[in-house]
Chain A
Amino acid sequence: MKEQIYRWAGPSLWVLGLGVPFALSANWISILALFAIYAVVALSQDIVLGRAGMFDMGHAVYFGVGAYTTAILNVTYGWPIFWTMIPAIIAAALVGGILAAPLVKLRGDYLLVATIGVSQIFHLAMVNNTAGVTGGPDGIFGVGVPSIFGHQLISQGNEYLVDWGLLGIVLLLMKNLEHSRLGRVFRYLKEDELAATTLGVNARYYKILAFALGAGIAGAAGTLFASQLAVVSPGAFVFTESVTLFAIVLVGGQASIPGVLLGTVLMFVVPQVFRELAQYRYFAFGIGMIVVMVVRPQGIWPRRRRMG
Chain B
Amino acid sequence: MSTLFQQLVNGLTVGGIYALIALGYTMVYGILKLINFAHGDLCVLGAFIGLTVITSLGGASGSPEIWVVGLAFVAAIIAICCAGVVLEFAAYRPLRNAHRLSAVVSALGASMMIENGIMLIWSPQTLVFPQGVLPQISWHVGGVVITFTQLMIIVISLILMASLYLYVNHTRFGTAIRASAIDQDAARLMGINVNRVIVSVFILGPALGAIGGLFIGLYYRQAVFDMGWTYGLNAFIAAIIGGIGNIPGAMLGGLLLGLFNALAGGYISSTWQQAITFGLLIAILLVRPTGILGERVAEKV
Contact = CB atoms under 8 A, between A and B. Distances in A.
A290 B91 contact: yes
Interface stretch (B112-120, B141-149, B192-200): B112-120
Interface string B271-286: 1101100110110011
A3 to B, nearest CB: 28
Given A102-B286, A297-B102, A120 B278 contact: yes
B108 A289 contact: yes
Nearest to A254: B101
Given A113-B285, A114-B285, A250-B101, A120 B275 contact: yes
**Chain A binding surface SS class:** helix
Given A121-B275, A283-B113, A247 B120 contact: no
Contacts of A283: 112-113, 116-117, 119-120
Contacts of A282: 112, 115-116
B60 interface: no
B90 A290 contact: yes
Given A112-B35, A113-B240, A294 B106 contact: yes
Nearest to A111: B285
B110 interface: yes
A5 interface: no
Contacts, number: 128
Contact of A298 (B99, B274, B286, B289): B99
B101 A55 contact: yes
Interface in B281-300: 281-282, 285-286, 289, 300
B137 interface: no
A285 B109 contact: yes
A235 to B, nearest CB: 13
Interface string B256-283: 0000000000000001101100110110
B191 interface: no
Contacts of B117: 283
A125 interface: yes
A254 B35 CA distance: 20
> Which residue, of A118, A239, A289, has the highest number of chain B Cβ atoms within 10 A?
A289
Contacts of A280: 116, 120
Nearest to A55: B101
B117 to A, nearest CB: 6
A128 B286 contact: no
Instruction: Say which size band chain A's interface belongs to.
Output: 35 or more
Contacts of B281: 113-114, 117
A110 B120 CA distance: 33
**Chain B binding surface SS class:** helix
B272 A293 contact: no
A287 interface: yes
Given A294-B95, A297-B99, A286 B285 contact: no
A293 B95 contact: yes
Nearest to A124: B275
A77 to B, nearest CB: 27
B114 A286 contact: yes
B285 to A, nearest CB: 5
Contacts of B104: 55, 112, 250
B35 A125 contact: no
Nearest to A238: B229
B202 interface: no
> Which residue, of B35, B95, B104, B282, has the highest number of chain A Cβ atoms within 10 A?
B282
Given A106-B286, A279-B120, A286-B116, A293 B106 contact: yes
Contact of A239 (B103, B106, B229): B229
> Which residue, of B109, B236, B240, B282, has the highest number of chain A Cβ atoms within 10 A?
B109
A250 B103 CA distance: 10
Given A108-B100, A282-B116, 4 more contacts: A109-B35, A121-B278, A282-B115, A286-B109
Interface of A: 55, 102-103, 105-110, 112-114, 116-118, 120-121, 124-125, 128, 239, 243, 246-247, 250-251, 254, 279-280, 282-283, 285-290, 293-294, 297-298
